[in-house]
Every structure is written in C-alpha cells, then in structure tokens.
Amino acid sequence: MRTSFTNKGIALFVALALLFLLSATVITVFLTAYNHTNATENLSRRMRAVMFAEAGLNYARWQLRNDSSYSGDVFSAGSGVLSDLPAGSGWNMTITVDDYPASGGKRIRSKVDYPKAAVIP
C-alpha cells in the first residue's frame, strides 16, 4: 500500500510562521515598554518644572517682603532656586515682577525652561 504525501515541508512553513508571529509580539512588547518609559520620563521632567516654577513664585514673594523694589531674577541650573540641579544640565528659570495696574499690586511670573530629552537624576 502506497500513501502519497502532498503536504511535504508544511511543518517548516508553519514553524516559520509561528516564529515570525512570536518575534512580532516580542518586538511590540519591547516598543510599548520603551514608549511608556519615555512618556514617564517626560511627565516626571514636566512635573519637576512645575514644582520649580512654584518655588520661583514663593521665592519672589519672599523677596518682595524684604524689598518692595524687587523686579525678578534669572537662574541657571546649579544656582539659586535651581541649586540642586547639576550645572549645565539645561534648566533655566526666569522670574519677573512688574506692577499690575488693575489692582495696584504686583504681578509675579515664573518660567522654567527644561531639557526635553536629557535624563536628569
């Protein structure tokens, strides 16, 4: 009795297809983890910038209590309010204080520029 096999070599193609699917799944998982890591780092940097901006506002309020003619400051990483950051890391803060005519008081603005891609300790 003779049996004819028309499916010769099909196991090789099935194995290659499964290997391709497994590889695609692993690549997708790694890329997703990488993207989540970048998003988390960006959020962390942004939140740190917001905290430094709020610290700049508090610093300006403190300066105004001591000197009513205070008009603002510019800080770079490693100095003043940003002293806990390494110098040259790209972080800068600008504090401006000007008269606010509508209320007769002062307007305080604090702006923080931070690196978008550098890893900050």
Strands of the 92-100 sheet, one edge to the other:
72-76, 92-100, 105-113
Domain residue ranges of the chain, discontinuous segments joined by +: 12-113
Let me know if 14 is exposed, middle or buried by CB neighbors in 10 A (0-12, 13-18, 19+): exposed
Both tokens assigned to 90:
């790209």
pLDDT score of 23: 97
Of 87, 90, 93, nearest in space to 110 by CA: 93
pLDDT digits (tens, 9 = 90+) for 45-93: 899 899 999 999 999 999 999 998 999 999 988 888 788 888 888 889 9
For the chain, what is the largest distance between any 2 Cα atoms, rounded to a whole number of angstroms?
108
- The pTM assigned to this predicted structure is 0.69
**pLDDT (mean) for 36-48:** 88
